[in-house]
Amino acid sequence: MRIPHSSDSRDRHGYALMITLCFLTVTLLTLSSLMWWASSNGRVTQQNELFTTSEAAAEAGTENVVATIDRDWTYGQTLQAASVYAAMIPTETNWPKQFQFSDGSGNANQTGVTIGTQYYTNQLGSSFANLSGYVQNCTITSMATPQNTLYPVSATVQQVVNATIIPLFQFAIFYNMNMDVSPGQPMNIGGNVFCNATIWMWPYAAMVFSNDVEAVGNVTNQMEPYDQQSSSGYTAPVYTETGQPVSGVDSLTLPIGTNNNPSAVEGIINIPPGTNGAPNSWAYSTNGQMYLFNESDLIISNSAYGLVGAKGGTNITIWYQDPNNATPWIQISNDFYALKTGGNTNVVNQLSGIDSPTNVAWSSFTFVTNVSYYDYRESDTVQAVQVSVTNLSIWLNNSNANGGMQYNRTSYNDKGRGISSIFVYNNVPLTTSQLPAVRLVNGTQLPSTTDPGGSGRTTSGLTVVTPQPLYVKGNYNVQTATSAALASAGTANTTFTYPAALMGDAITVLSSSWNDANYTASTSVNSRPAASTTVNAAALEGIVQSTNVSGQNYYSGGIENFLRLEENWSSSTILTYNGSIVVMFPSIYATSFWQVPGNYYNPPTRHWGFDVNFNTPSKLPPLTPEFHKIIRYTWKDT
């Protein structure tokens, strides 16, 4: 009998144990791997979350500086030193995590800030396509490292913003308020159009926009709600660039201090309040230069009395202004004299060579006087300070003791140029029947002066500023000293012009046919025939806005009536205008509403266009206002 062995049973039990151990090992390895993966993934998740949080903190560090740069540039018109901004880091009160901030180069409690050199470019970015400006690159870098965390994951954010200056007169049309457009004649707009409010668009004839049309509000194809004209005859406007028009863009403002509303912006053409005006020292600060009064080369004023007929305007006073001189204001001596001779009064012109006249009956200036005429829109008698541009040019080039040449010489520690801007203030009181104003005459050719002191410096062109209504009589700026007479009259060619701007409460064009003496309150519009006229100058003014008064609608007149008229123009008379149309504020002096043609005027044939000279910095008018805008350029994390 054979006894059976139990080895097979033992082998089977051994295999089972080994298999169990293998499964257990695999399971433990799997669990370990899962636990390691979970732990590792948790760490990565935590680190990612910390990086995202640190990145947000670093961005806050850059935004803190960007906001301050934006404030300084927009309202202060200048940037502080880079070190001032570098000392700024976020305040972390109530933050769930605290961070150590540095400038990305190892300097704690600092933000990296570099400010580049200003340069001129026609590449301002898509927000301002077709515009040029002066740019300063500001690079802001912030590194944030979380404190009291297991994983000190840092993040660095770098932003580049451009502190940009955009000259206002680069726009074919710029409105700081609602812009109304309802021309009854074809109109081609060849430059950029921008509105800080709403554009109401209802053309009665073909209207073509060749560049960008943008509004902070909406660009509507609707009639201005307060337009009293018929709504029939609408012609859809044409936009030659794709993607136009554009609504809802960022605003462009010219603030007075921190105030952007249109009524406050009127201050740029007015006498500054209190001690903000020249010759007080604040006037020559960066903020003080927001006021054109503080920037102008000549300040012309009159007394409130001794008006027309007061011996040729003996109440005129003129100052020369140069903040670089020890005495920034110099009162200019009269250059026009009436001399007593044997009981008679003879008029003698100082420019004829009499430097020290005797027996003076009265004295004044050859290029400024007082005049009076009637305004049919305002139904007022205008008491105007009148500037003869031809006589101004003669005075500027005269080297006699009382001539103006001395103010263009290098012996003066001047602005690097001669006289090219004047500010005129009329002290005549505004009443229900009397309108203080300024008028320019004999402006076919604007001044051009060459420094006789050896610098070879030539100053050409003229900007005229007044807080009151401004009138221009006859052709203005249609030839240069070297061009043929009336070289650009009636054309869109501005080759033969000088840089020029007109800025006032309202701007009215009077043709060369205008007659002060014969045009009285009772002279009908048909008895005031106009002659074709050309004006080449940027024009900044106020308007009477569209509104409703006591149930009656009143239209602003729109872009098409931006230049006010007082005569019987017709299809055979042409008003040629080349410049930049800018409306910044409501009119304060000339406040009568626009009326449909046939009342105080009949419309001309309008040949209007943007002056492409203004795309070149050296050809911009003197005292061109400038927008200060921070434009974001790049953002990146590192």
Residue 254 makes CB contacts below 8 A (sequence gap 6+) with: 168, 176, 265, 268, 290, 584, 625, 627
Query: Do 454 and 603 sit in the same domain of this protein?
Result: yes
pLDDT in tens, 103-143: 999 999 999 999 999 999 988 877 787 889 999 999 999 99
Q: What integer pLDDT is reported at residue 411 of this predicted model?
A: 58
Given 225, 252, 279, the domain boundary residue is 252
Q: Are residues 408 and 501 in the same domain?
A: yes
Q: 45 vs 571, which has greater pLDDT?
A: 571
Give residue 571's identity as a one-letter amino acid code: S
User: In this predicted structure, what is the pLDDT of residue 310?
Assistant: 37
Q: What is the pLDDT of residue 371?
A: 94
Same domain, 20 and 86: yes
Q: Are 185 and 113 found together in one domain?
A: no
Q: Which two tokens stand for residue 347?
A: 């008029």
Same domain, 92 and 36: yes
Spatial contact of 447 and 462, defined as CB atoms under 8 Å apart: yes
Instruction: Answer whether residue 95 is part of any domain.
Output: yes
Does 350 fall in a domain? yes
At 595, the amino acid letter reads Q
- Our CA angle for 593, 595, 596, nearest 5°, is 155
> Is residue 403 located within the same domain as residue 522?
yes
Report pLDDT for 151.
77
Do 199 and 218 form a contact (C-beta atoms < 8 A)? yes
pLDDT for 43 beyond 90: no
Any domain includes 316: no
Q: What is the pLDDT of residue 363?
A: 78
What is the predicted pLDDT for the residue at 235?
95
Best CA proximity match to 143, nearest among 184, 175, 165, 112: 112
Q: What is the pLDDT of residues 312-328, one digit of tens each?
A: 345 899 999 988 888 88
Same domain, 449 and 507: yes
| C-alpha–C-alpha distance, residues 545 and 557, integer Å | 8
- 164 & 216 share domain: no
Spatial contact of 152 and 619, defined as CB atoms under 8 Å apart: no
Q: Look up residue 225 and give its two tokens.
A: 């709600």
In-domain check, residue 232: yes
Sorted by sequence, the CB contacts under 8 Å of residue 367 that are 6+ apart come out as 387, 388, 389, 391, 392, 394, 395
Are residues 130 and 98 part of one domain? yes
Question: Beta-carbon neighbour count of residue 370 at 10 Å?
Answer: 22
Give me the long-range contacts of 316-320 (CB less than 8 A, separation at least 24). Answer: 316/364, 316/365, 316/368, 316/369, 316/370, 316/385, 318/365, 318/368, 320/407, 320/419
Distance CA 163, CA 78 (A): 9
Among the candidates 196, 218, 252, a domain finishes at 252
Are 213 and 97 part of one and the same domain?
no
Q: Hey, what are 279's tokens?
A: 């010759």
The overall pTM is greater than 0.85: yes
Query: 195 and 131 in one domain?
Result: no
Q: What is the mean pLDDT of residues 533-557?
A: 97
**Omega before residue 279 within 30° of 0, cis:** yes
Tell me whether residue 357 is in a domain. Answer: yes
Closest by CA position to 463, among listed 518, 503, 426, 410: 503
CA atoms of 250 and 123, how far apart (whole Å): 18
Q: What is the pLDDT of residue 308?
A: 37
Label residue 629 by pLDDT band (50, 70, 90).
very high
The answer to whether residue 273 is domain-embedded is: no
How far is it, in rounded angstroms, from Cα 401 to Cα 82? 48
314 is a domain residue: no
Residue closest to 162 by CA, chosen among 117, 194, 195, 101: 117
Alpha-carbon distance of 414 to 397, in angstroms, equals 17
Q: Is residue 270 part of a domain?
A: no
Q: What is the pLDDT of residues 249-290, one digit of tens each?
A: 999 988 887 788 899 999 999 999 988 999 899 999 988 999
Residue 492 DSSP one-character state: S
Query: What pLDDT does 527 receive?
Result: 97
- Among the listed residues 287, 273, 50, 252, the one whose alpha carbon sits nearest the alpha carbon of residue 169: 252
Looking at the fold, whether 425 and 519 belong to one and the same domain comes out as: yes
What phi, psi does 132 have (nearest 5°)? -120, 165
Q: Checking DSSP bridges between strand 581-586 and strand 171-175, what pairing results, if any?
A: parallel
Instruction: Please state, in angstroms and rounded to a whole number, the distance separating the CA atoms of residues 424 and 405.
Output: 20
pLDDT at 156 exceeding the cut of 50: yes
Give the Cα separation of 347 and 365 in Å (integer). Answer: 12
Q: How far apart are the C-alpha atoms of 276 and 529, rounded to whole Å?
A: 45
Q: What is the pLDDT of residue 497?
A: 95
Query: Which is more confident, 5 or 125?
Result: 125
Q: Bridge partners of 224?
A: none
CB 70 within 8 A of CB 630: yes
Domain of residue 232, residue span: 177-252
pLDDT exceeds cutoff 70 at 7 = no
Domain boundary residue, one of 233, 252, 271:
252
Pairing of strands 316-321, 298-302: antiparallel
Q: Among candidates 238, 246, 244, which has minimal Cα distance to 218?
A: 246
pLDDT of residue 1: 47
Amino acid at 101: F
The DSSP letter of residue 289 is: G
Number of domains in the chain: 4
What's the pLDDT score for residue 305? 45
Q: Return d(Cα 246, Cα 194) in angstroms, integer.
A: 10
DSSP for 392-413 reads HHHHHT--STTSSGGGGSTTS-
